[in-house]
Copies of this chain bind each other. A is one copy, B any other.
Amino acid sequence: MTSKQEFIEKLRNSSLRPTKQRINICEVLFNRDKTFHFTINDLFNLIKDKTGEKVSLATVYNTVHAFHRKGYLKEIPINSNQTYFDTNVTDHHHFFDVKEEKLIDLKNEDVGPIEIQKSIPGKKIKSVEVLVKLED
């Protein structure tokens, strides 16, 4: 259970003004035990449900992007009509249940180390992500 005060400090430290909306979004995103996978639309609806207050869709977009830039959220590469984000920003991989359109975390040890044996001159590796698609 993270307190509202901590969110306010976290926001201030990131030079983001601690507005009511951002704090509500923090509550929904970061006040949980498990990692959380979501689309903007999921989040938009959850805010209403969980906090009782409405935040405009534009603000949800703005805030998610701000948090993403600050490194508090991770974008997950899937081909889907909607973009998925993850509150777990550590290096890790995913199952994607194609039918249910649901993401499941894979621990690094579930996949094992991945060594990329090829390099492209002038470029360096930014991330290595494994996506395991699941079917019935």
Contacts and interface: CB of A to CB of B under 8 A. Distances in A.
Interface string A95-122: 1011000001011011110111110101
Nearest to A104: B120
Nearest to A128: B132
A132 B125 contact: yes
A98 B126 contact: yes
A131 interface: yes
Instruction: Give the copy number.
Output: 2
A37 to B, nearest CB: 14
Interface residues of A, number: 37
A34 interface: no
Contacts of A130: 114, 128-130
A95 B123 CA distance: 10
A77 B135 contact: no
B134 A124 contact: yes
A129 B126 contact: no
A78 B127 CA distance: 13
A110 B117 contact: yes
12 contacts: A79-B83, A97-B120, A97-B123, A98-B126, A110-B116, A114-B114, A123-B136, A124-B134, A124-B135, A127-B133, A128-B131, A130-B130
